[in-house]
Amino acid sequence: MLIIAGLGNPGGKYVGNRHNIGFMAVDAIYRRHSFSPWSKKFKAEIAEGEIAGERVLLIKPQTYMNLSGEAVGEAMRFYKLQPADLVAIYDELDLPSGKARLKTGGGHGGHNGIKSLDAHCGKDYRRLRLGIGHPGVKELVQHHVLGDFAKADQAWLEPLLDALADNADMLVRKEDSQLMNKLALALGGKAEDEKPKPEKKPAAKSHIHQARNHNQPKLPTTGPMAEMLKKMFGGKGE
């Protein structure tokens, strides 16, 4: 089984917050695939289903962000799972809006939900960070994170969540780089491994080769000079 945990805060007043993009991502996956109705267990809302032939548990902790690990850790112990069986999806201030990064392990980057997961679940789980941008100054961070996405944000938010839901099978199969490419392309960017091809230049020739081909005088084929050359070189080729 794989647990996909979206992080956020429960309650109507937080629904549209940037901090709740993890909940939004899990909801998008839920809508796109076949899952059981949401139920309450492990201090969370959970739904079971199957993606890419693997059993998947979607979980939205209802403990508030700072205690997310209590809910996810309880579910992991119940199913006897390891950190490798967990994917956490959450907001990332230090990524531009709409950018995504996926890796295993790492630091919490000051994110209280991840601090809690690290404490209750171990650290070697996969972390899908979805960029929400930084307001520019530390004093505005809390207002930014707990503020709702603006209407203009829907231009990248909806395509990002749709692409994640459409390609959730890659998340399950651990095809991380392929998934990152799909998310980048959905927002009009280039695939992560797509690099501009260098212009093909003609093969370089040594200065000796160039001199032989381009700087040789044209030898006469008729007249006294031609006759003399034939005698010197034995008239080869005749």
Binding annotation for tRNA:
14, 64, 66, 112
Known binding-site positions: 14, 64, 66, 112
- What residues are paired with 61 via a beta bridge? 44
Structure tokens at 8: 């956020």
What type of residue is 83?
Answer: P
Task: Please identify which of the residues 19, 108, 143, 207 carries the catalytic annotation.
Answer: 19
Q: How many residues does the chain have?
A: 238
Q: Can you state the percent helix, strand and coil of the chain, rounding each to 5?
A: 45, 20, 40
Instruction: Give the position of tokens 């080769």.
Output: 209
CA atoms of 107 and 120, how far apart (whole Å): 15
Q: Is 19 a catalytic residue?
A: yes
Cα–Cα distance list, 62 to 16, 40, 67, 81, 182 (Å): 16, 9, 9, 20, 30
SS3 126: strand
In the chain, the amino acid numbered 47 is A
What is the radius of gyration, based on Cα positions, of the chain?
31
Catalytic positions are 19
